[in-house]
Amino acid sequence: MPKPTRNTRIPWATLVATALTALLAVLLPPPGPAHAASGPGRAGESRPVHSYDRAVRESVWVEVRTSARRTDRVAVDIVRPREPAQQGRRVPVIMDASPYYACCGRGNESQKKTYDEHGDPVQFPLYYDNYFVPRGYAVVLVDLAGTNRSDGCVDVGGRSDVQSAKAVVDWLNGRARGYRSRTGDTPVTAGWSTGAVGMIGKSYDGTVANAVAATGVDGLRTIVPIGAISSWYDYYFAKGAALFGSGPDGLASRVESDGARARCAAVQRRLVEGAPRNGDWTPLWSERDYVRDAGRVKASVFAVHGLQDLNVRTKHLGQWWDALAAHGVERKIWLSTAGHVDPFDFRREAWVPTLHRWFDHYLMGYDNGVEREPMADVERAPDQWTTDRVWPPAGTRTTTLRPAAGPVAGVGTLGLGQAAPGTTARFTDDPRRSEADWSAAADRATPDKAGFVTRPLTRDLRLSGSSAVRLRVTPSTSSARLSAVLVDLGPAAVRDYAGDGEGIRTLPDRTCWGAGTAGDTGCFQRTEADVKRVDHTVFSRGWADLGHWASARHGRAVTPGRPYTITLDLAAADHVVPAGHRLALIVAGTDAGLIEPASTTPRLTVDLHATSAGLPLVGGYRAFVRATSGAAVAPSPAPEHPRGVRVPVPSLTRLP
């Protein structure tokens, strides 16, 4: 297993070994151009035998046809090992297509691309080039249309975004045109490429990887989406409830280049008009829904997500994962308890070797067994990981739990029995209150929520997958927001996912991952878990606008005094409620800091007889019965001032 080093200088012993390896590579017949990508499996792993400081660094502009009459060119910065080309060998490609290389930067240190006085690339953000180029990979960083040095316009997940990245995959496979400059006519081909491409990236970058995979493009062998969006509607809305203070036009304005800002007013206008803030589904959202095209995905998928990601919420992961599973796509998953964080920053020493083996297998053809290993790695507590052969685990069943009135006024129960007809609970929406406030008062009647709690569990109870809460509610006004959250009531040490680092703390010292140069050292600040002691943990949440009760696509005003039935989709989770803790379901109105309030603040009456929660329990119904019967484990004493992770307010202007 490769180990990080603080020193980027290569010792003499390594130089000798590298020279011998290079000599053998010249003397022995090399495999054919595509052997490493598609030929018979080989044992072992790729080794850092190529020089990084002598690597070829170049820029190419790839042609993208945007209409019958117009083409744009997207800028592609490339770093690739020099030795394979000199030996007549081709290399596979690791590709990260992003809008952030000039405006915002990538990674925990917000690195941007840099260039020398000739315009040639110097710094490639992140560690992909430092680590993988010496191992025989090319690293290709693409400026999405309308950003940095590319032509075109930003359309936030639409055709322009997707085609500008897909065109580069086509160029790497000889199906598109490339040029030496943005405006010149000197053609460039990718004769050095095997055509095998793996796309990787966090957030917007990973979203583009999902989108390109959903086109079914040939040559894309694998994708590694990290905290990625699967449907842009679900980034901005939750069944009609607005999640952020602006639509895709705001994001486009943030990332587009000065030139794009001057020429793309019509595209900006379409983003505004096509994404009304009423939460209705429009054709704009259909174009940006990749879940519907999961059946076209040919690439394997290694998905990574933070279970407490409040930016790109795990609903995106859950629906994408389920769609891929339905179509038999080969896949792997890592789930951390952090927020919107790259695995390089929450599990670096395990992540880089795992990613190395993943790319070796799918891009170079090594038979290293990575595809036969457990499908899922799940973080249970800070830096404590478990594995599952499949995910969700075998034996997971959706189990219907029901709220009912309890012995304490204003605090209900959560169990298997259905409440008697006519049983109700009431609350008044208070847009100043959040899930942290509701959870802290789970054992007390408060006017802003309805809470339902199990007895202390006698055994651990694991929930793994996506939940849904079906509500029958009667509003007092013509509009209403609804929230439902699942809470683990009990003490724990968790990552502080709402803190500045979203669960990590950045340290001053650095470790180096691969080779480096003065302009691109490959050394990055270390991180550690940012841990907080809490007395309750919200681990899944979902929201809706009641006006979208009949259709997630079209809202309408509701009639005061009339009952409505609506289902709230709760984000995918994987959480163990330990013995001695209690599981709570809380239903309320506006979740402050996470959704925007309605135009009114209604009082809502919940019909408990017609309300239920479908939860993905490992072991199903029997597991719940075992965990809620028998001798109860004594819970820890309730604190005088309950502590949870409080979401900062406001938090509605983050970038994906």
| 650 has pLDDT over 50 | no
Is residue 126 scored above 90 in pLDDT?
A: yes
Q: What is the pLDDT of residue 459?
A: 97
pLDDT, residue 632, reads 55
Give residue 20's pLDDT.
39
User: What band does 644 get if pLDDT is binned at 50, 70 and 90?
Assistant: confident
Helix H, strand E, coil C: the string for 357-420 is HHHHHHHHCECCCHHHCCCEEEEEECCEEEEECCCCCCCEEEEEEEEEEEEECCEEEEECCCCC
The pLDDT of residue 31 is above 60: no
Return all residues near 645 (Cβ < 8 A) that are at least 6 apart.
308, 436, 494, 496, 497, 498, 532, 534, 537, 538
Residue 640 above 60 pLDDT? no
Active-site annotation holder among 170, 309, 429, 530: 309
Among the listed residues 50, 305, 340, 536, the single catalytic one is 340
- Span of 11-25, 229-243, 278-292, 325-339 with lowest mean pLDDT: 11-25
Q: How far is residue 218's CA from residue 654's CA, in Å, rounded to a whole number? A: 34
DSSP symbols for 243-290: -SSS-HHHHHHHHS-HHHHHH-HHHHHHHHHHS-TT----HHHHHTB-
* Catalytic residue of the set 203, 439, 483, 540: 203
Alpha carbons 495 and 382: distance in angstroms, whole number: 6
Determine the Cα–Cα distance for residues 582 and 635; give it in Å rounded to an integer.
8
For 68-115, the pLDDT digits (tens) are 678 999 999 999 999 999 999 999 999 999 999 999 999 999 999 999
Averaged confidence pLDDT in the chain: 91
Q: Which two tokens stand for residue 577?
A: 């409620």
Q: Are 327 and 295 in contact (CB under 8 A)?
A: yes
pLDDT at 633: 53
What domains appear along the chain, each with residue ranges and CATH number?
56-302 (3.40.50), 396-498+533-628 (2.60.120.260)
> Which range is least confidently modeled, 28-42, 250-264, 451-465?
28-42
Question: Rounded to 5 degrees, what angle do the CA atoms 310, 314, 316 make?
Answer: 115
Residue 7, pLDDT score: 35
Question: Given a cut of 70, is residue 220 above it in pLDDT?
Answer: yes
Which string of b and e fits 7-39 if b means at least 16 CB within 10 Å? ebebeeeeeeebeeebeebeeeeebebebbbee
On whether the CB atoms of residues 336 and 382 are closer than 8 A, the answer is no
548 in catalytic set: no
Residue 330, burial from CB neighbour count under 10 angstroms (0-12, 13-18, 19+): middle
Average pLDDT over residues 598-602: 94
The two tokens of residue 501 are 């680092």
Taking residues 163-170, report their average pLDDT.
Answer: 98
Query: Once rounded to an integer, what is the mean pLDDT over residues 217-237?
Result: 98
Q: Would you say 193 and 172 are in contact if contact means Cβ atoms under 8 Å apart?
A: yes
Q: Is the pLDDT of residue 15 over 90?
A: no
CA distance 118 to 106: 23
pTM score > 0.75 for this model? Answer: yes
In the DSSP assignment, the letter for residue 608 is G
340 noted as active-site residue: yes
Task: Give the whole-angstrom CA distance, residue 499 versus residue 403.
Answer: 33
Query: Residue 39 pLDDT more than 70?
Result: no
Mean pLDDT on 358-372: 97
pLDDT at res. 595? 95
The encoded tokens of residue 132 equal: 């993988």
Q: Mean pLDDT: which of 261-270, 608-617, 626-635 is highest?
A: 608-617
Question: So what's the pLDDT on residue 656?
Answer: 82
> So what's the pLDDT on residue 646?
72
Q: Which long-range contacts (CB under 8 A, 24 or more apart) does 281-289 make?
A: 281/233, 281/552, 281/553, 281/554, 284/158, 285/231, 285/232, 285/233, 287/157, 287/158, 287/159, 288/156, 288/157, 288/158, 288/231, 288/232, 288/233, 289/231, 289/232, 289/233
Beta strand residue intervals within 429-480, DSSP E = 449-453, 461-475
pLDDT at 509 over 90: yes
Is 50 among the residues known to form the active site?
A: no
Q: pLDDT tier at 21 (50, 70, 90 boundaries)?
A: very low
Predicted pLDDT of residue 637 = 52
> Can you give the pLDDT at residue 555?
93
Retrieve residue 588's tokens. Answer: 């309320």
Share of the chain above pLDDT 70, in %: 90
Calpha distance 219→217 (Å, rounded): 6
